Amino acid sequence: MTAKILDGKRVRDEILSELKPRIESLPRRPGLAVVLVGADPASAIYVRGKVKASESLNIYSEKITPADDISTAELLGIVEGLNQRPEIDGILVQMPLPKHIDSRRVLVSIHPSKDVDGFHPYNTGNLVAGIVGPQPCTPAGIMQLLRRYEIPIAGKHAVVIGRSDIVGKPMAMLLLHENATVTICHSKTADLAEECRRADILVAAIGRKWLVTADFIKPGATVIDVGMNRLADGKVTGDVDPKAMQTVAGAYTPVPGGVGPLTIAMLMANTVSAAERHACSA
């Protein structure tokens, strides 16, 4: 049996199409501010994609590009200025920041109602409690993918490899809210392959090229590969051996073209939702 490809681009296009009438019904264009510190090439590519998606939806986007020697205090001042501007609904500070900047202080300085990345502790608390609010974009996008491809979640065993605040932990929480039984694995897990083989849904988000091989995958499982690892020739590959996904899994996300497009789609969705909340409270 041939494994089903879970096409992130198709789901992204569905999500963006559904946002258009919501944007048109707002009293003004949603506004997204992206802060890109320095000239990291990978970060610049990500920001370019976010700005392009905003423009395609008629979302006002503003890119702020301070030099990489900016101080934490100066960056906090930029964020506070954006917090005060009513036409800015979402603020995104592109990570990683230069090492001398206190990243946690910067992220916490974003007002929770404008935190379209879903990283603020206030929004993390809402996620744990199951309260509606901005959710981290990559895990939220994966949930959209599973729903739209009608992958059963309730009662299934899900294994998440990785415990980051950005993907691993919120991914586990979202799956738990959908009544999956969830195991979180990490670098200290005793027998990683054995844990993964129990998964009906396996989410690999550890950032190591082809760490997950065929003996990690339960035959017929759904495999979500969040990894983005750059090869010597410049191509991007995931955390899961592509041949293993294609031959053992029942369904899988390719890299590229799987999870990546969904992250930007959910950033746009979070921005529109923020604009709707701000319009209601105005």
Residue with tokens 């929480």: 173
Q: Single out the residue of 37, 99, 97 nearest to residue 64, CA to CA.
A: 37
* CA–CA distance, 232 with 234 (Å, rounded to integer): 5
Q: Are strands 31-35 and 90-93 parallel, antiparallel or unpaired?
A: parallel
Q: 117 an active-site residue?
A: yes
Active site residue 63: no
DSSP 8-state class, residue 220: T
| Burial bucket for residue 242 (CB in 10 Å: 0-12, 13-18, 19+) | middle
Q: Report the DSSP beta bridge partners of residue 229.
A: 237
Tokens of 166: 């950005």
* Residues 221/249, Cβ–Cβ less than 8 Å: yes
C-beta separation of 6 from 251 below 8 A: yes
**Of 89, 115, 117, 239, which is the active-site residue?**
117
CA distance 11 to 42: 24
Task: Assess whether 218 carries a catalytic annotation.
Answer: no
Q: Are 224 and 259 in contact (CB under 8 A)?
A: yes
Residues 6 or more apart in contact with residue 214 via CB below 8 angstroms: 241, 243, 244, 247, 248
Active-site pick, 89, 94, 156, 200: 94
The β-bridge relationship of strands 222-225 and 201-204 is: parallel
Q: Any residues with CB less than 8 A from the CB of 187 and at least 6 apart, and which?
A: 206
Provide the annotated active-site residues. Answer: 50, 94, 117
